């Protein structure tokens, strides 16, 4: 008698269990998962069952559908952003998600177009609408878009010395003067102490953290300055011959120390005054190569040259 083979069909999985498993996978991979990932994790689930579960999660607003170079991605929806995007169509949600993924470095409109495959006119309309809702912002004149509540990365703004891509030379000069004034005051206090010369010298030093704290307490900056910003200003004073720096060993955890070292600065008086030629503006002029007689930039109409000659 011939043996009869009976194919045993696997029992249908509970739809709720499938949905919960997909949600778990999305939490494990916050940047999104592909259908292949779901299939690998649940090989016993039929394609139709997976599709039903995914569509249900999408319709309930628990998942976001993204488009990437590798295909479609499913990502867990942020409950906070879900409320913000309520009433938006799928195209607007897609553009918002692309901008959100860019973080505080932002993204160009042309890159949004490339990632979304939407027409430029449609993208411009969506961007304008999202800006009017205060969901996104253009972080610079060059139209780099990011979420409204994010602080732009220094690579976008140019750092503390730039405002709307323009170099704030007056602000830098004020910081330069105030940092030098603080070190001068500390040096004068050390001299007035009438201690021996070595103690006076050591007392005249200040750490970059002390200078940073002094500048912050003055309240002259509208932007938040870091210790690195202040050290940049102090470096310009070193180049000008007004300040000297030394590095000492410091205990781990000491305020102002980095990797067991601390930078100390003090105001100094030049041994001899620099010659007039050294102070000539031409050596540091950023448009030196474009300067020639008869041109738009020339020695005869240079205000810095005039000031130097009067000096």
> What is the 3-class SS of the chain, one letter each residue?
CCCCCCCCCCCCCCHHHHHHHHHHHHHHCCCCECHHHHHHHCCCCCHHHHHHHHHHHHHCCCEEEEEECCEEEEEECCHHHHHHCCCCCHHHHHHHHHHHHHHHHCEEHHHHHHHHCCCHHHHHHHHHHHHHCCCEEECCCCCEEEECCCCCCHHHHCCCCEECCEECHHHHHHHHHHHHHHHHHHHHHHHHCCCCHHHHHHHCCEEHHHHHHHHHHHCCCCCCCCHHHHHHHHHHHHHCCCEEEEEEECCCCCCCCECCEEEEEEECCCCCCCCCCCCCHHHHCCCHHHCCCCCCCCHHHCHHHHHHHHC
- The C-alpha atoms of residue 87 and residue 81 are separated, in whole angstroms, by 12
* The residue to which tokens 């949905």 are assigned: 19
Record the tokens describing residue 13, joined without a space: 């999985």
Alpha-carbon Rg of the chain, whole angstroms? 31
The predicted structure's pLDDT at residue 6:
44
The predicted structure's pLDDT at residue 166:
65
**Residue 263: closest CA among 226, 300, 307, 227:** 227
**Alpha-carbon separation of residue 233 from 86, 226, 229 (angstroms):** 47, 11, 7
Task: Note the Cα 9 to chain centre separation in Å.
Answer: 55
Record the tokens describing residue 160, joined without a space: 């503390």
From first to last of its 311 residues, the chain has per-residue pLDDT tens of 455 444 444 556 688 888 888 888 888 887 788 888 888 888 888 888 888 888 888 777 777 777 666 677 888 776 555 556 666 777 888 888 888 888 878 888 888 888 888 888 888 898 888 888 888 888 766 678 888 877 777 666 656 666 665 667 788 888 889 999 999 999 998 888 888 888 888 888 999 889 999 998 888 887 778 888 888 889 888 888 889 998 888 776 677 667 778 889 999 876 666 566 666 777 667 677 778 888 777 888 887 777 777 65
The predicted structure's pLDDT at residue 75:
82
The predicted structure's pLDDT at residue 70:
66
The predicted structure's pLDDT at residue 180:
92
Q: Name the β-bridge partners of 266.
A: 244
The predicted structure's pLDDT at residue 239:
83
**Residue 98: closest CA among 145, 35, 164, 168:** 145
Calculate helix-pair angle for 120-132, 90-102, nearest 10 degrees: 80
- Cα torsion through 176, 182, 186, 187, rounded to 10: 30
The predicted structure's pLDDT at residue 302:
83
The predicted structure's pLDDT at residue 8:
43
């Amino acid at each position: 008698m011939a043996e009869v083979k009976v194919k045993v069909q696997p029992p249908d999985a509970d739809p709720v269990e499938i949905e919960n498993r997909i949600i778990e996978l999305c939490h494990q991979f916050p940047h999104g998962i592909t259908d292949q990932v779901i299939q690998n994790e649940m090989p016993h689930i039929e394609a139709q069952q997976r599709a039903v579960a995914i569509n249900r999660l999408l319709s309930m607003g628990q998942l976001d559908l993204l488009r990437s170079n590798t295909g479609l991605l499913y990502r867990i929806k942020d409950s906070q952003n879900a409320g913000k995007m309520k009433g938006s169509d799928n195209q607007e949600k897609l553009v918002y998600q692309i901008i959100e993924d860019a973080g505080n470095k932002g993204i160009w409109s042309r890159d949004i177009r490339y990632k979304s495959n939407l027409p430029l006119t449609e993208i411009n309309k969506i961007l304008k609408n999202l800006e009017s809702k205060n969901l996104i912002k253009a972080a610079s004149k060059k139209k780099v878009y990011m979420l409204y509540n994010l602080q732009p990365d220094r690579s976008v703004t140019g750092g503390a010395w730039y405002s709307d891509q323009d170099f704030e030379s007056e602000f830098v000069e004020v910081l330069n003067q105030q940092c030098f004034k603080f070190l001068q005051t500390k040096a004068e206090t050390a001299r007035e102490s009438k201690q021996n010369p070595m103690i006076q010298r050591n007392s005249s030093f200040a750490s970059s953290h002390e200078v940073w704290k002094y500048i912050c307490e003055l309240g002259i900056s509208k932007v938040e300055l870091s210790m690195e910003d202040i050290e940049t200003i102090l470096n310009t004073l070193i180049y000008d011959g007004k300040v000297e720096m030394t590095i000492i060993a410091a205990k781990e955890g000491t305020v102002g120390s980095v990797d067991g070292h601390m930078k100390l600065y003090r105001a100094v008086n030049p041994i001899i005054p620099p010659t007039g030629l050294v102070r000539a503006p031409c050596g540091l002029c950023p448009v030196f190569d474009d300067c020639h007689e008869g041109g738009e930039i020339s020695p005869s109409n240079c205000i810095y040259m005039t000031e130097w000659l009067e000096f």
